[in-house]
Structure 1
Amino acid sequence: MMERAVAKVGDGEVIIETGVYAKLADGAVVVRQGDTAVLVTAVMSEEPVKGVDFVPLTVDYREQSSAWGKIPGGFVKREGKPTDREVLVSRLIDRPIRPMLPEGFFHDVVITALTLSADDKYDPDVLAIVGASAALHISRIPFDGPIAGVRVCRIEGKFVANPTYEERQRADMEIVLAGGKDAIVMVEGGAKEVDEETFTEAIYFGLSALEDLLKAQEELRAKVGVPKASYESMSLPQELQKLLEDYCTEKIIASFGVQDKRERKTLQANILKEFLEVNQIPQELHFKVSYNYKKLISKLMRKRVLEGGTRIDGRGPKDIRPISIQVHPFERPHGSAVFTRGQTQAFATATLGSPEEAQLVESIYEGETFKRFMLHYNFPPFSTGEAKPWGPPRRREIGHGNLAERAIEPIIPPEEEFPYIIRVVSNIFESNGSTSMATVCAGSLALFDAGVPMKKHVAGIAMGLIMEGDKYVILSDILGDEDQLGDMDFKVAGTRDGITSVQMDIKVKGLDKEVMKDALMQAREGRLYILEKMYQVMPEPRKEVSPYAPKIEIITIPEEKALVVIGPGGKNVKEFQQKYGVSVWVHEGGRVSLTSQSKEAIEEVKRQIKN
């Protein structure tokens, strides 16, 4: 029997239905807005996963072209591996759901979201977030929800919740926000240099837009919800917990004085090993002891920051690690830079290409489009000292690359000013927190070095928060350990004039608006400090592109002459390429791009076209 709940969001309605599809899953719902519909299921394993001390959550979001009445392009007429878009939406669902699964719960949980129908108005991604929460909330799976997701855009100075695709094209900022009652859990989005006050207002506008979605999920659980499953507690016997704290506390505090990440980790691992051996802890308790030992490290680190204002590496809350910058360390890349901040190091290259090298992108709404700016992020295992082979990009790498790309893209000059296709590649050489933001900095410097006429540098900083009751400390330029042990991890990128990209993951409930504003303002201070360092090294883009970059010239011809330039079957274009080494690309409106390594060859082909 179908049950449904309806929520009003913005100018539309979101409908949540259950009881018809995928009834063997622990929880299954269909979420609709307009003609867009997403099936979301949640399934839990019967037994906990052995040997893991994190929630083994897997989220798979899938879009099948049949949902919008299309057959896949290419030779193989079926969907293959997840697209970047599917990976990014999977992460968008995962990030707000993961912190809502209880501590010490180690059963496999798999959330699957499948777009069943897609119109040209509403994006399925935020509906999938709502569906994931609803499926968990009505199921037996332990879940500290519900939460919901909403998209917020500012259009002509006004905030709009879940705008249509057409409305989104007119927005100067766009964020996806997820949260529960009085609690923001996740924020992800970008803007065209928007100030901190506006971002704060957008976040809290979005929080108010979630209320009906949360009520609808509670209604659905009241109708069809089942009792939650129990799971094994990770608490230690009281005597053993006291023994652990008495033996390890002072040693852990001493380890905080070791600034090198690997040395500190090794020292802390040895403290635990010593405790287990000296106290002859039974093997069957080792896993629980290790879990609670990590919690003890977190507790002591947080206390150190809250009470003394001193961080793991000895810095104060606002201090940024030492920064060093190298520009053009290697000759052949068109632009390159190394940005080092403490033990985090990113090497970025910028490559300039011809118009035909644009990336073809197929989307639900726009069909086939071409992308002229790309940023790819790589995270080789050696960056953390791990002895592992370097495999293909994982979800995290795709997500970090997208975050950095979104940060820089608003400052990329339009095609009319700079006709090149631009690709930035960031390779992380050392990792101890904030590698995506180091990528933004290194990428901006590499673009300046490549001669891309950007009007401003873009920098990013990762921030953290330690909060107990009414007391809180905001941390600038967080380490990897501070990311894991803190209450908030948020990354803010932008120029001197405003924010271009934000990613926030918030673990504490009821985050006050003033705390959010303080955090954004402290992030601004840090961003401006980093930008100053970048401008000192590279105050403006190079006046000319690298001699190894292709030369491009754009000319305009009468539209009716386009077929003459191309020639029958592309004969003329092929001849220009074979005889002169010049690629000729004819665009709509009579624009013709000529690309070659030789300026003289371009001039000759240009003369022939005009004649």
Structure 2
Amino acid sequence: MQESISWNGEELSIETGNWAKQAHGSVVYRHGKLVLLATVCAEKEAREGQEFFPLTVDYREKTYAVGKFPGGYIKRENRPAEHETLISRLIDRPIRPLFPEGYFCEVQLLVTVLSADPEKTMEGHAITAASAALAASDIPFLGPVAGVVVGRKDGAFVADPDTSVIEEGELELVVAGTKDAVMMIEGAAKEVSPEYFIEAIDFAHQKIKEKIVAQERLAAKLNLKKREVHLRKPDEELRAAVREFALEKLRQANRTPNKQERGDAIDQVNKAALDFVREKLANDTSRDLDASLREIKGYLHELEYIVVRDLIFGEGVRADGRKTDEIRDISTELDVLPAAHGSAVFTRGQTQSLGVVTLGTGDDYQRIEFLSGEHQKNFMLHYNFPPFSTGEVKRMMGPGRREIGHGNLAERALRAVVPSKVDFPYVIRIVSEILESNGSSSMASVCSGSMAMMAAGVPVKGQVAGIAMGLIMGDNGKYVILSDIAGLEDHFGDMDFKVAGTERGITAFQLDIKVAGLSVAILRDALAQADRGRMHILGKMNEAISAARPAVPENAPLVMTMQISPDRIGELIGPGGKIIRSIIERSKAELNVEDDGTVTIAAINKDRAEHAKRLIEELFREVEVGQTYTGVVKRITDFGAFVELFPGKDGLLHISKMSKNRIQSVKEVMDIGTEVTVAVLGVDSLGRVNLILKDLADSMPPGSFDGGREERGGDREHRGGRGGGRGGDRGRRH
């Protein structure tokens, strides 16, 4: 069974009932050369004592999808790459809120790329395919949803554009939603205005509706009856008893401004409520006491939800005493790590990020393998969230999905102001160490990373600040928007909308919600309030440091670049790497050569870097007839000596041109390693250089430097052309 629509001039089809039929729902999603298999399975019953919805979403790419072998030693797909984890999160976030409340059966949703078009953006198609699998199943789901990627080309928004549009454009926006509302937003931009951003979201939502049509038609054809699920229903008698005992006590506890003190006060109320109910049910044999106590924790959580929201709606005051648009106190510190290239601490309320910048050379870039090929990453931000930041004891492991996602968001926020490699030829790594967390640690990472780059002398365009916005939805369409949300408001609120940018505009954004969608009007109000908050934060950051320092620190490597013709890269490399190794040995600098002819020179001081640059310039300069050079004897034959004038260029000093007196052997006057000063008699049509000792050249009459052929032996054996003759040819193919 199949449904299709026209999408970007090609058929977009969703088919079910042919592949993966034992899955509870499966679809084959096709668009041009792109083929995705999306499957979903769900347990029939929830596990005993399950207290949350266990949804697992995995997006995986197969390298055979583009006719490639996996990279590395093990030739099979292994753990997911970072970009696969990020797309898995993009699928999860709009789908998770649309399962029925109280549905705790475990669900596993898999999206696999079987055939790919590297030119196509993937995220919007992957979200849509995942939703289609749920629509083609009997699993209860309040969808469908669809996703699109939005770029801009020739002044117009484009849905699911080619990757080149994203790479060259000013916007990369992923939007997911139902036909009625927006569910999720993520992306980056080059300092765009809030109005521009809203227009892009509105455009995306209209395109989302087109993708939903195909899913609805397919579901109508299937006419599947959704499975009956026994949603967990509350014990109303017990619920009422807990409410009567704990509601007012929780109201007082939640007015405690400090997070830890508030948590302690709430814990005391919860413990007292458990003791109260345990005593109340001690003689009630009709109830399972352990099960009842587990239920009570859920009822107490409901009461805290009510208390937090009532306080905001009723009094316009938040748990920590702030007004709805008030930003927590901000403090900043610079240069806190003397051995690092740049460091800064940004503290906002009880959220604190240590940003550390390391400047590297060309060899420090990260290689990333995509289906479209291997890419180099010269700017990266890594986010660490240790358990002590929330006062907890947890097992220390590698970065999880949360750390990868938060780091990616902060990285995209800062990327818009990072200078080009031509202007600043360093590899830049930022690490954000979260020292304390109570809401919006990813946005604190943006702030600390921005200041740390300025402290390290990275010539960024300006400061970047981030803010997290919240939302409390009320009855009859009423709502309250919260600026700079704390962890409590994130947990009990309906929206987490992170916005980062400069004074000129937005650079990154991420939206997650817990309701069935948001209108564009709410998003517009949230953006306007976020804009005011961001300007306040930028002001505080600029008080600490408002412009990049004029130079990188002394302990950072000195990096410079120069450009050579890509056709002459082999001449720099030399046969077997001989020439480039010689330059490295002589200058004590590091060299990195890219395919476009960009040569990056890195050294511990300016003298070494300049020395390497001079050697490269000498390598590519032309030998001039009549010019004098001081070189080193590299090889001796019966008929003369080959003198290296500069790396990659040598000439023949014939035995007859070594002395005023006749000599029987070259070794009478010089040996390998002897430094001699010579003049160029001539260069023939093959680029072979004929030399004469400078003292003899000085006594020659005018007109003697005519480019004549070398002596007979040199004619046969001289290999003094650029790159070492035939060896140089091999070098150009290096």
* Bin of the TM-score, shorter chain as denominator length: over 0.9
Partner of 2:606: 599
User: Contact conserved, 2:153 with 2:169, CA < 8 A, in 1?
Assistant: yes
Contact persistence 1:34–1:121 (CA under 8 A): no
Question: Could you list the runs of 5+ residues in structure 1 that have no partner in the other structure?
Answer: none
- CA offsets, 1:573-610, max 9 Å, x none? 33444554311122345432211112222222223222
Q: Distance in 2 between matches of 1:557 and 1:221?
A: 60
Show CA shifts across 1:3-33 (max 9, x none).
1111344544421110011111111111111
2:439 aligned with 1:441, yes or no? no
For 1:287-306, what aligned pairs fall within 5 Å after superposition? 287-306=294-313
8 Å Cα contact 1:137-1:225 kept in structure 2: no
Question: Is residue 309–residue 316 contact of structure 1 (8 Å, CA) maintained in 2?
Answer: yes
1:482 corresponds to which of 483, 489, 499: 489
Q: Are 1:350 and 1:443, in contact at CA under 8 Å, matched by a contact in 2?
A: yes
Task: Please tell me whether the aligned partners of residues 155 and 170 of structure 1 are also in contact (alpha carbons under 8 angstroms).
Answer: no
Compared with structure 1, are the counterparts of its residues 265 and 554 closer, same or farther at alpha carbon in structure 2 (3 Å cutoff)?
same
Is 2:92 the counterpart of 1:85?
Answer: no
Q: Does 1:608 align with 2:606?
A: no
Measure, in 1, the Cα distance between the counterparts of 2:94 and 2:433: 28
Q: Who is 1:583 aligned against?
A: 590
Corresponding residue of 1:178? 176
SS at match of 1:46: coil
* One-letter identity of the residue aligned with 2:435: F
Q: Which moved more, 1:265-274 or 1:113-122?
A: 265-274
Confirm or deny that 1:500 pairs with 2:498. no
Tell me the secondary structure at the aligned position of residue 248 of structure 2.
helix
Measure the CA separation in 2 of the matches of 1:60 and 1:71. Answer: 21
- Matched with 1:249 is 247
Taking the TM superposition and a 5 Å limit, the aligned residue runs for 1:437-586 are 437-468=443-474, 469-509=476-516, 511-557=518-564, 559=566, 561-578=568-585, 580-586=587-593
TM-score in terms of structure 2 length: 0.80
Provide closer, same or farther for how the CA distance between residues 36 and 283 of structure 1 changes in structure 2, counting only shifts above 3 A: same
Question: 1:97-124 CA distances to partner (integer Å, 9 max, x unpaired)?
Answer: 1111122111111001100110133233
- Alpha-carbon separation, structure 1, partners of 2:596 and 2:94: 45
Partners of 2:182 and 2:519 within 8 A in 1: no
Question: Alpha carbons of 1:610 and 1:261: their partners in 2 closer, same or farther (altered >3 Å)?
Answer: same
What letter is aligned with 1:567?
Answer: G
Residues 249 and 214 (structure 1), Cα distance of their counterparts in 2 relative to 1, 3 Å cut: same
Cα–Cα, structure 1 residues 399 and 242, in superposed 2: closer, same or farther, change >3 Å?
same
The DSSP-based 3-state class of the residue aligned with 2:309 is helix
C-alpha distance in 1 between matches for 2:246 and 2:35: 53
Distance 1:380 1:225 in 2: 48
**CA distance in structure 1 between the partners assigned to 2:122 and 2:460 by the alignment:** 34
1:157 pairs with 2:123: no
Task: Return the letter of the residue paired with 1:440.
Answer: V
State the alpha-carbon separation in 1 of the partners of residues 11 and 468 from structure 2: 36
- Paired position in structure 2 for 1:370: 376
- Classify the secondary structure of the residue corresponding to 2:416: helix
> Match for 1:259 among 253, 257, 260?
257
- 3-state SS of the aligned residue for 1:535? helix
Higher mean displacement: 451-460 or 210-219: 210-219
* Equivalent position SS for 1:127: helix
Give the letter aligned to residue 424 of structure 1.
I
Q: Post-superposition shift, 1:175? A: 0.9
Shift of 1:553: 1.8
Task: Indicate the percent of aligned positions where both proteins have the same amino acid.
Answer: 45
CA distance in 2, matches of 1:108, 1:175: 31
Superposed, which structure 2 residues align to 1:88-167 within 5 Å? 88-167=86-165
Shift of residue 327 of structure 1?
A: 0.8
| DSSP-derived class of the 1:144 partner | coil
Deviation at 1:43, TM superposition (A): 0.7
Q: Which amino acid aligns with 1:403?
A: L
Deviation of 1:566 after TM superposition, in Å, equals 2.0
Equivalent-residue separation in structure 1 for 2:168 and 2:590 (angstroms): 35
Q: Does 1:48 align with 2:54?
A: no
Bigger relative CO (Cα 8 Å, ≥ 6 apart): 1
Deviation at 1:59, TM superposition (A): 0.6
User: C-alpha distance in 1, partners of 2:350/2:171?
Assistant: 33
- What is the match of residue 354 of structure 1? 361
Alpha-carbon contact 1:346-1:442 (below 8 Å) kept = yes
Matched, 1:26 2:24: yes
Please report how far the alpha carbon of residue 217 of structure 1 lies from its aligned counterpart in structure 2 after TM superposition: 1.5
Between stretches 48-57 and 436-445, larger displacement belongs to 48-57
* 8 A Cα contact 2:345 2:352, kept in partner: yes
1:417 aligns with 2:437: no
Q: Does residue 393 of structure 1 match 2:391?
A: no
Q: Cα–Cα, structure 1 residues 204 and 589, in superposed 2: closer, same or farther, change >3 Å?
A: closer
Pick aligned residue for 1:211 from 209, 212, 218: 209
Q: Which has the higher Rg, Structure 1 or Structure 2?
A: 2
1:65 aligned residue: 63
Counterpart-to-counterpart distance in 2, 1:224 and 1:269:
50
Taking the TM superposition and a 5 Å limit, the aligned residue runs for 1:263-282 are 263-280=261-278, 281=281, 282=289
Q: TM-score, normalised by structure 1?
A: 0.96
Provide the aligned C-alpha RMSD in A. Answer: 1.7
Cα gap change, 1:305/1:12 in structure 2, threshold over 3 Å: closer, same or farther? Answer: farther
* Number of aligned positions between the proteins: 608
CA distance, structure 2, for counterparts of residue 228 and residue 558 of structure 1:
65
- The one-letter amino acid paired with 1:101 is F
| Alpha-carbon displacement from aligned partner over 1:537-582 (angstroms, at most 9, x marks no partner) | 0011111101111011223345555333322222333344455431
Which sits farther off after the overlay, 164-173 or 440-449? Answer: 164-173
Mapped to 2, the partners of 1:30 and 1:112 lie a distance apart of 12
Task: Measure how far apart 1:514 and its partner are.
Answer: 2.3
d(CA) in 2 for partners of 1:157 and 1:532?
A: 32
Match of 2:625?
none
